[in-house]
Each structure stands twice: as C-alpha cells, then as structure tokens.
C-alpha cells in the first residue's frame, strides 16, 4: 500500500510537470514554447502562435517590404519568426516561404482544421467594429495594425487576431478547384464546412450560422489557401472565411501567417 501511494504521488507530480511545461514550471503555456498557446483538439492537442508572426529584430529586415527582403531574412542564420504582442505582422511572404520559415523554427503551417480550432470563439461581428474589435473595417489606427491591438479579438484558446488584420497562410493547395480529390463549391457565402474545416457548400445568401463569412476561389491552376480575412473584408471576414485565389508563390501586402507545433 505504501509503495502504491508513493507511485501514485509520483505519477501525479509527473503529470503536473508535463502539463505545466516540465521542471515544475507553473504558467499558462500548457507546455508550449514561448509565444504559443495550447489548443485542445479531438485529433490531438497542439500549440499555435498566439500572435501573427513577425520577423525577429535580429533579421536583416525586421519589417519586410517585398519578397526579396523576405528571402534575405529566410537565408539569414539568426533570423527566426516570433510571436509577440505589439509587433508588425510579417507580410510580403508567399505560402512556400511561410512554410520554410516555420520549419526553420521547428514548427509548421497549420492545417485548415487546426487553424479553425484555434480561431473558434473569436468575436465575428457583422457591423459596428470599434478599435478594440478585430480589424476588418480599417478600425485600428494603422493597416495592418500591430499584433494584439484589438483586445476583444481573441479566441476561446487565447489566440489573437485570427480574424482580420491580415490573411493567414495555412497548409495545403487547391488544384483546379479540387482539394484532396474533393471538388470544392463555387465562390459565395459559407453555408457549411467539411471535416477538414473547408467550405462544403456556398450560396449567394449569407448564413448567420457561419457569421456571414465568405469563400473566395479560382477554379483553375494551383492555388494557395489563406484564412480569416484582412483589414477591409468587413462582415465577409471571419473564422470560416477562406481565400483560395492566389498562387503559393504570391506575396502581398495583406497576407501573413502563424505557425503551429
């Protein structure tokens, strides 16, 4: 009996240590690296960047202004992606490049399903956006704004800016309107999503079940996937909004990313 109590106590302490990030650490990270937060999922829990990724101050270009500057950052040995409040989102980065810089930090781009799980619970308003809300109507002082500028724009998992500010690259591409052998619906308001968190039905009318979020798609060629909307998508931005228009090599002013581990 004494041995059983000792073993049980040791197991509880070990479990607490793992849940708190090991070595008796006590914080809210759930064992995730700095700048990340845990997301509970039926398919397995994971860590996600709490903020849209920024370039580290050690990077040659802390706020890249074009794709060549992003490439120089990726090639610099001391340049890593960072997730922190008050930082400018890293833009002018393609889906391909975002995947590389996440890998450089020992992370990866989220799947559509992971991204949606992290975004759930973010207030997805239809109108009346203020400076503390998600930026979807130029409602912050700058476009894009610094990460975490809208204190109300936080998901149930404690992840900031999943809606608006900048679109966010996710893993995967669509080929001639098909994803993993499944033909996707045409452009329109989201009326349903499948098990991969991708729109399964769309229509010209909006649906309050999906917060009037919109699905953009080009059915020809290889297209990258970005989620959430940017600073001027208004009610069409949201946790179910998906943009399948740009090629994976596209790098623009309104697209950023975050990583998972």
Q: What is the pLDDT of residues 49-93, one digit of tens each?
A: 999 999 999 999 999 999 999 999 999 999 999 999 999 999 999
The answer to whether the beta carbons of residues 257 and 250 sit under 8 Å apart is: no
Pairing label, strands 242-244, 214-217: parallel
Residue ranges in 105-234 assigned as alpha helix (H): 112-119
What element of type H or E holds 101? helix 95-104
Predicted pLDDT of residue 30: 77
What is the pLDDT averaged over residues 211-219?
Answer: 97
Average pLDDT over residues 207-212: 94
User: Which pLDDT band, with edges at 50, 70 and 90, does 21 fall under?
Assistant: very low
Angle made by CA atoms 42, 44, 48, in degrees to the nearest 5: 110
Q: Tell me the per-residue pLDDT of 236-250, one tens digit each, with 9 for 90 and over.
A: 999 999 999 999 999
Q: Could you tell me if 170 and 109 are in contact, meaning their C-beta atoms sit under 8 angstroms apart? A: yes
Q: Which of 226, 247, 248 is nearest to 237 (CA)?
A: 226
pLDDT above 70 covers a percentage of the chain that reads: 89
What percentage of the chain has pLDDT greater than the value 90? Answer: 87
Domains of the chain, with CATH numbers?
Answer: 32-257 (3.90.1580)
- pLDDT value of residue 25: 31
29 vs 8, which has greater pLDDT?
29
- pTM of the predicted model as reported, rounded to 2 decimal places: 0.89
Q: Residue 226 above 60 pLDDT?
A: yes
| Mean pLDDT value across the chain | 91
Which residue, 143, 163, 134, is CA-closest to 258?
Answer: 163
94-140 confidence digits (pLDDT tens): 999 999 999 999 999 999 999 999 999 999 999 999 999 999 999 99
Give the span between the Cα atoms of 102 and 59, in whole angstroms: 14
């Amino acid at each position: 009996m004494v041995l059983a109590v000792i073993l049980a106590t040791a197991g509880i302490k070990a479990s607490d240590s793992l849940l708190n990030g090991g070595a008796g650490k006590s914080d809210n990270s759930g064992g995730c690296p700095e700048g990340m937060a845990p997301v509970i999922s039926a398919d397995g829990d994971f860590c996600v960047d709490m903020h849209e990724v920024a370039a580290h101050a050690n990077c040659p270009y802390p706020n890249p202004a074009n794709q060549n500057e992003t490439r120089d950052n990726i090639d610099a040995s001391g340049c890593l992606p960072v997730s922190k409040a008050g930082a400018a989102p890293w833009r002018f980065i393609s889906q391909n490049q975002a995947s590389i810089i996440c890998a450089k930090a020992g992370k990866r781009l989220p799947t559509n399903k992971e991204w949606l799980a992290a975004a759930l619970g973010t207030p997805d308003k239809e109108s009346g956006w203020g400076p503390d809300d998600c930026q979807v109507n130029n409602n912050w002082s700058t476009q894009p704004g610094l990460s975490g500028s809208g204190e109300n724009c936080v998901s149930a998992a404690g992840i900031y800016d999943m809606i608006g500010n900048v679109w966010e690259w996710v893993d995967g591409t669509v080929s001639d309107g098909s994803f993993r052998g499944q033909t996707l619906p045409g452009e329109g308001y989201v009326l349903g999503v499948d098990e991969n968190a991708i729109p399964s039905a769309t229509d010209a009318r909006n649906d309050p079940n999906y917060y009037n979020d919109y699905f953009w798609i080009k059915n020809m060629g290889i297209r990258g996937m970005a989620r959430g909307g940017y600073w001027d998508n208004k009610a069409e931005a949201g946790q179910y909004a998906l943009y399948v228009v740009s090629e994976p090599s596209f790098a623009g002013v309104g697209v950023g990313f975050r990583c998972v581990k």
